[in-house]
A and B are shown apart, each in its own frame.
Chain A
Amino acid sequence: MTAAAPELAIETRQLTKTFGRQTVVNNLDLAVPRGSVFGFLGPNGSGKTTTIRMLLGLASATSGEVRVLGQELPQQLPGVLPRVGALIEGPGFYPFLSGSANLIRLDSADRFASPATRRKRVADALERVGLTHAAGKKVKAYSLGMKQRLGIANALLTPRELIVLDEPTNGLDPQGTREVRHLVRSLTDQGTTVFVSSHLLAEIEQMCTHAAVMRAGNLVAQGSLDELRQTGQTRIRLVTPDAQLALGVLAGLGLAADVEAPPERGGASADPQLIAPLPEEVAAEQIVEALVANGVRVRGFTVAGSTLEDLFVALTGEGFDVAQ
């Protein structure tokens, strides 16, 4: 690799895919930095898998440009693919072959892979995903989780510069999910860029350095996790019976607050809530001080930094399975 290695492992410009009249991916501008663990987040059906198929040359783009590892696709596809490992939309294997026989077949399809080291590399990949004990078993006897691991092992057959994992923790138990996280971390330690798609926010939050959010074929946010978190506003939440008074005080401090009706549960906390974005130049304690000084009965006060969840709910308009 020359020193002029480009910054981005994956770069798309105005990438669009339509099936008939339906636009599945719309003007996507992805930028995946090298060495990152890039989370590709979106609800099911938001165009993630279609995008991945275009990144791997399985589907052609309707319009737009794709560059993977600095190479233009689909023209440079044969040179790019050997440097990319992938798990695409679940594992696909020959059920009548053993796990290792499946990997040997897929490895023999790669003209850059050395036949001399094939068995060794297959054994190593199986070991990395913890399937050594089942290497000789026919795949039809594998559980979904084992097939998923075998799919990941396939992506690890040769040293790769980019690994694309589409929903890698599907079908894995919590232990397996943890192992995948460790594996991804070990890959980045070697400088591999990992591109992980998921509909699970927690998964992305725990292993990724960068993320992009898809919604109905559109890219709605992209950046490092820190950048994304900063996109959201820190807010204050004030619980008080004196809502009108408090509004005036907050306005004096330059905060535009919204009044929320008290929770319907009623009871002791049946007080209105005021929510307002917190400007950077105002300290939270200043606000409480001003409220108390003006006779506002402060029954509750919180400062909430925005969570990714808030952001994603705001961006996609729907909830994610935050908890698995």
Chain B
Amino acid sequence: MAQKFTKWIPAAVVPVVIAGVVIAVPMAANATGSLPDKSAQEVLALVASSNVTALSATFEQTSNLGLPQLPTGTGAQGSGSTAQAASALELLTGNHTARVYADSTNGAENMRLQVLDSMAERDVIRSGSDVWLYDSKKQTATHATLPAKSDAATSAPDAGDAASTLTPDQLAAKLLAAVTPTTTVTVGNDLSVAGRSAYDLVLTPQAGDTLIGTVSIAVDGSTGLPLSVTIVPKGSADPAFTTAFTSISFDAPSADLFAFTPPAGTTVTEQALPAEMAKPTGEAGKGTGRSAGKSADRPVVTGTGWSSIVELNVGTDQSALTGSPLFAQLMTPVEGGSVFSTSLVNVLLTTDGRVFAGSVSAEALKAAAAAAPLAAAPAAK
């Protein structure tokens, strides 16, 4: 009977409506009001003049670096340098959601970063000169006191595991520092990020030997705050790394958020700064050298811009690192050492205890290792 089919009309219409909503809502969100046209230089100037003092935001980081998928929570197991490396790697792979709260109004220097893990959380809390690191899984807290004049943008997040997760604006600041005459900067079509209209600043390295194809930075049209960063490797269409705000508010967060007291039952470690050494897999490949650290471990930067290579001496005793199964899984043995390879960054660990890292090919790293005599490196600690 014909009326039998009419009974199925809702069942046919509802999925179509839902599919329509699923497709239309993001499109409507993207159909933002057009921003006044700006040249690349004007957008760069907008970023430079950005003066956001308070924000509460959530951002998502998606990595597709060609690394094996690490089991979630790898970082919680093991100990020592293996655990450190695994933890850092875990943050570099897969997807992560984090929240950031910052308030530097009235001279306060408050910041809190929360990496939202499944059933766990890693926090970095900075309140004035006090920095706390908290890991709910390990139930550990680390406290450090910053020296009086510290660079808030780098010191606090660099201090621990959560450091490997950078907010989009922090990462953009590092990347824009790499803008040199070897980079073409263009402005693409307007974007919508976290419900805000943004300029799409596209950086295209012209250096031939870098692995990075393009870097897109979404710059908030009204505040100049970078809202997202997308890195596409050379010769690929899919982003290898994306970090973007999913929601952002420029209201000052509650002051309670920055007042951290380690909860009962937590192992508290007091740490003097500067303490934590840059990790072999840190942000070295993003083209900036580290300035913090003891002189013995100070990295040496060779090359410039996108193809710069960071050299670091980690000492000859690598058994803790090389002996771990994780190491074997990630490293490819090559002549004179082994290579940790991703689509954006390569790291060469030589048998004599040096680390070379950069957004360049493994061959370039080997050449750099051969060019830099071991004698030039300070003695192992």
Taking Cβ atoms with an 8 Å cutoff, the residues of A that contact B are 60-63, 74
User: Which residue on B lies nearest to A63, using beta carbons?
Assistant: B1
Q: A60 to B3, alpha carbons, bound, how many Å? A: 10
Q: How far is the CA of A300 from the CA of B217 in the complex (A)?
A: 116
**Interface residues of A: mostly helix, strand, loop or mixed?**
loop
List, sorted by A's number, 7 A–B pairs whose CB atoms are closer than 8 Å: A60-B1, A60-B3, A60-B4, A61-B1, A62-B1, A63-B1, A74-B3
Instruction: List residues of chain A with CB within 8 A of the CB of B1.
Output: 60-63
Tell me how many residues of B have a C-beta within 8 Å of chain A: 3
| Chain B residue at minimal CB-CB distance from A75 | B3
Closest CB pairs A-B (n = 3) = A60-B1, A60-B4, A62-B1
Q: Is the interface of B mostly helix, strand, loop or mixed?
A: helix
Residues of B at under 8 Å CB distance from A?
A: 1, 3-4
Closest residue of chain A to B7, judged by CB?
A60
- B280 CB to closest chain A CB (Å) equals 68
Q: Which residues of B contact A74 (CB under 8 A)?
A: 3
Residues in A neighbouring B3, C-beta threshold 8 A:
60, 74
A75 CB to nearest chain B CB (Å) = 9
Complex contacts, B4 vs chain A, CB 8 Å = 60
Residues of B contacting A60 in the complex (Cβ-Cβ under 8 angstroms): 1, 3-4
Q: Which residues of B contact A61 (CB under 8 A)?
A: 1
Q: Within the assembled complex, what's the spacing in Å between the Cα atoms of A63 and B4?
A: 12
Q: Within the assembled complex, what's the spacing in Å between the Cα atoms of A64 and B3?
A: 13
Minimum CB–CB distance from A25 to chain B (whole Å) comes to 14
**A63 vs B1: C-alpha distance when bound (angstroms):** 7
A62: B residues at CB distance < 8 A: 1
- Taken together as a complex, chains A and B put the C-alpha atoms of A253 and B4 apart, in Å, by 62
A60–B4 alpha-carbon span in the complex (Å): 8
**C-alpha spacing A314/B4, complex, angstroms:** 39
Query: How far is it, in angstroms, between the C-alpha of A61 and the C-alpha of B1 when the chains are bound?
Result: 8
Cα distance, A237 to B4, chains bound together (Å):
57
Nearest chain-A residue to B1 (Cβ)?
A: A60
Q: How many Å from the CB of B214 to the closest CB on chain A?
A: 62
Report the Cα distance A60→B7, complex, angstroms.
12
| A63: B residues at CB distance < 8 A | 1
In the bound complex, how far is the Cα of B18 from the Cα of A26, in angstroms?
43
Chain B, Cβ-Cβ closest to A64: B1
Query: How far is A62 from B1 in the complex, measured between Cα atoms in Å?
Result: 6
- How distant is A294 from chain B, measured CB to nearest CB, in Å? 66
Nearest-neighbour CB distance to chain B for A76, whole angstroms, equals 13
Q: How far is the CB of A111 from chain B (nearest CB, A)?
A: 21
